[in-house]
Amino acid sequence: MSLKRNIPLFYLHRFLNEFLLIAPILIPFYQFNRFGIWAFYTAQAIYAFTVLLLEVPSGYLADVIGRRKTLIIGACFLPTGLLLYGLGNSLWVFWLAEFMLAVGNSMRSGSDSALLYDSFINLKCEDAYQGTEGRGHQFARIGTAVASVAGGLLAARSIYLPFWINVPIALAILPVSLMMIEPARHAPKSKRPLHEILVIAGNALKNHALRPFLLFFGLLGSVCILSLWAFFIYYQSIRISIAWFGVLFAVYQTMGAIGAARSQALSARLGGRFVVTLSLFLAPILILLGGIQSICMLPLIMLHPLLWNLAVPVLFNQINLKTASRIRATVLSLANMGLSFAYVLTAPLFGLAAERIPLRLALWGLAAFFTIFSIPLLASMKREWKTEPGAKG
């Protein structure tokens, strides 16, 4: 069977994994169960910490036993986590649910992109990867957008209903994973897998050409996810009904889909470095939202996912260009590990700040954090940028 089959399956896999009816109503769900903003952000930190522990080992597992098998393993954990949420009403059960969701996403993270990239290598058309990765992000954002509208409306009827309906949808990821084809490649062989993981991770972090891209991906992702959840607090502060949360989240994800879809074309026209540098505008957006709490600021929030998703495919492409095929899933997982590490450190602090001080101060602090660390990383990336033949830098 042709490896071309992996492309539509990759799109469907991304769509189903991000079809989360629960996403726009998680903060109200915690509040319904009498838990505050800190409890929610701590749950997200537990999720991120689990991903942090499993991200690179799961990527290495994908490199050793195969990306398809790792995706199959991950597909078993997502519905389990959703089921625990649907059955639970205590903070410990919710935290266990986040742990299960994290295991599932760790197994998927990096494995799907590595399988896709190696499929293109075998098909001898690697230059098609960035566009397909961007469309994969587009399908993911569309999945979240469609689910968000439905999730908000379902939650208005019953706060638990989105969790129950999400379980069978998540179960559909398993047959999609089973239908994928493993591309031919040279898998690493080692009798000391932990040592091999540490060597790969150490070499990647020592690699001056690769390190700034890994660190910036982690910084960008962690700040964007912190902001994403903070926007729901912002919606509450301007008294928007929960029924509209799904619609707003759908628009947010649609803007992200547009960013992902236009990433390759814009980077080809203006250069990948320019596209990534646009993410600096995230800080002024947070500053303005902190200063002005009004429904008129909603269009500004929707610029946030556009900038984020324009940058991600470009960053992934740069990481792939600098990484050997046999360790690609491990290195891509290392990038996501950096995101989790930054999130683990910042999520409880941001949650505590959002609960104890005015939201505007929390948003301004987040903007300052992003600006201080992103500028030197962008300067390092500029020196190490690798341009494909016929493409702009």
pLDDT, one tens digit per residue, over 60-82 is 788 888 888 999 999 999 999 99
User: Collapsing DSSP states into helix, strand and coil, what is residue 294?
Assistant: coil
pLDDT at 271: 86
Confidence of residue 1 (pLDDT cuts 50, 70, 90): low
Task: Retrieve residue 259's tokens.
Answer: 């960013």
Local structure of 210: helix, strand or coil: coil
On whether the pTM is more than 0.85, the answer is no
Tell me what pLDDT residue 300 has.
93
Q: Which residue has the higher pLDDT, 4 or 289?
A: 289
Write out pLDDT tens, residues 342-367: 888 888 888 888 888 888 999 999 99
pLDDT at 101 over 90: yes
Question: Tens of pLDDT along 152-206?
Answer: 889 888 999 999 999 999 999 999 999 998 887 666 565 566 666 677 777 776 7
Report the pLDDT averaged over residues 303-319: 89
Domains of the chain: 7-180+194-383 (1.20.1250.20)
Region 368-375 average pLDDT: 94
Comparing 90-99, 207-216, 270-279, 325-334, the range with the smallest average pLDDT is 325-334
pLDDT score for 389: 45
Q: What is the pLDDT of residue 390?
A: 45
Residue-by-residue DSSP string for 355-391: HHS-HHHHHHHHHHHHHHHHHHHHHHHHHT----TT-
**Which tokens is 344 given?**
């683990």
**What pLDDT, on the 0 to 100 scale, is given for residue 387?**
66
3-state helix, strand, coil in the chain (%, to 5): 85, 0, 15
Is the model more confident about 273 or about 201? 273
- pLDDT at position 85, please? 93
Distance (Å) of CA 33 to CA 30, 94, 100, 384: 5, 10, 20, 49
- Residue 86's contacts (CB-CB under 8 Å, 6 or more residues apart) are 160, 163, 164, 167
Of 212 and 199, the one with more pLDDT: 212
Check residue 191 and give its pLDDT. Answer: 59
What does R_g of the chain's alpha carbons equal in angstroms? 20
